[in-house]
């Protein structure tokens, strides 16, 4: 990735999280269990954030551009002399339903003493959504993790689309087009009435597909 001219450089991830927690208004969406080990050896090699105010989060974390400066999603942070890729999602970006994004941050908990993460229920269903809607195929470690999470939560839960649909309907959430027109949004098999229309994002996706 090369030199980014970072404004902020962090000694370690714990220092980064403690500083960001003073600002508040964000969570790590998934794979936080691997962050204090060598997570680069795993299948998921970046940190996925969801925040209320993306420009403020980027400024507080010293998140430099990974590709182009105007790309506010794909950033990097400097930690212990390493550049760690991060994806910065924000409420209203369509990555998840905006109401759900707000609830995930509002109902967050602290894991590993310092990392704000979704509640156990939100973690399971947001990971299931990510695996089924935002990926071409489900990673093997996600299959194992989702099965364990379903078992731990109890009740009549599986790891299929019907389980996700039941949750979305119960909560009044919709499947939403992501702001990134290149982002995977797998709507196959979803009821049309559960997909929130967005003419601008739908048009941009069609336009992007032509090039």
> Mind listing the pLDDT tens digit for each residue in 73-90?
999 999 999 999 999 999
State the average pLDDT over residues 126-133: 97
| Domain membership flag for residue 63 | yes
Q: At 194, which CATH number?
A: 3.30.460
CA geometry: angle 155, 137, 202, nearest 5 deg: 100
pLDDT of residue 34: 85
Bridge-partner residues for 110, per DSSP?
Answer: 116
Distance CA 122, CA 83 (A): 29
Top-confidence residue, 137 or 122: 122
pLDDT band at 155 (very low <50, low <70, confident <90, very high): confident
In a domain, 153, yes or no: yes
> Is residue 111 domain-resident?
yes
| Within a domain: 2 | no
Residue 203 Cα to chain centre, angstroms: 24
Residue 4 falls within a domain, yes or no?
Answer: no
Question: What percentage of the chain carries pLDDT values higher than 90?
Answer: 83
pLDDT at 42: 47
The DSSP symbol for 123 reads: H
Q: Identify the H or E element spanning 88.
A: strand 82-90
The answer to whether position 132 is within a domain reads: yes
Looking at every residue in the chain, the average pLDDT score rounds to 92
Expressed as residue numbers, the domain containing 95 is 9-204
């Amino acid at each position: 990735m090369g030199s980014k001219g970072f404004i902020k450089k962090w000694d370690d991830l714990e220092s980064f999280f403690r500083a960001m927690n003073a600002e508040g208004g964000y969570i790590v969406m998934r794979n936080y269990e691997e962050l204090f080990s060598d997570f680069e050896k795993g299948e998921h090699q970046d940190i996925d954030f969801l925040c209320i105010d993306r420009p403020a989060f980027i400024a507080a974390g010293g998140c430099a551009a990974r590709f182009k400066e105007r790309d506010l999603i794909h950033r990097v942070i400097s930690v212990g002399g390493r550049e760690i890729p991060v994806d910065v999602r924000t409420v209203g970006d369509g990555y998840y339903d905006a109401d759900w994004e707000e609830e995930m941050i509002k109902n967050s908990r602290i894991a590993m003493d310092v990392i704000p993460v979704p509640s156990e229920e939100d973690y399971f269903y947001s990971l299931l959504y990510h695996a089924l809607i935002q990926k071409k195929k489900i990673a093997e470690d996600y299959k194992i993790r989702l099965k364990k999470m379903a078992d731990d939560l109890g009740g009549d839960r599986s790891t299929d689309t019907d389980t996700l649909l039941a949750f979305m309907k119960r909560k009044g959430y919709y499947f939403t087009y992501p702001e990134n027109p290149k982002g995977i949004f797998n709507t196959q098999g979803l009821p049309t009435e559960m997909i929130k229309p967005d003419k601008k994002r739908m048009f941009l996706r069609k336009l992007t597909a032509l090039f």
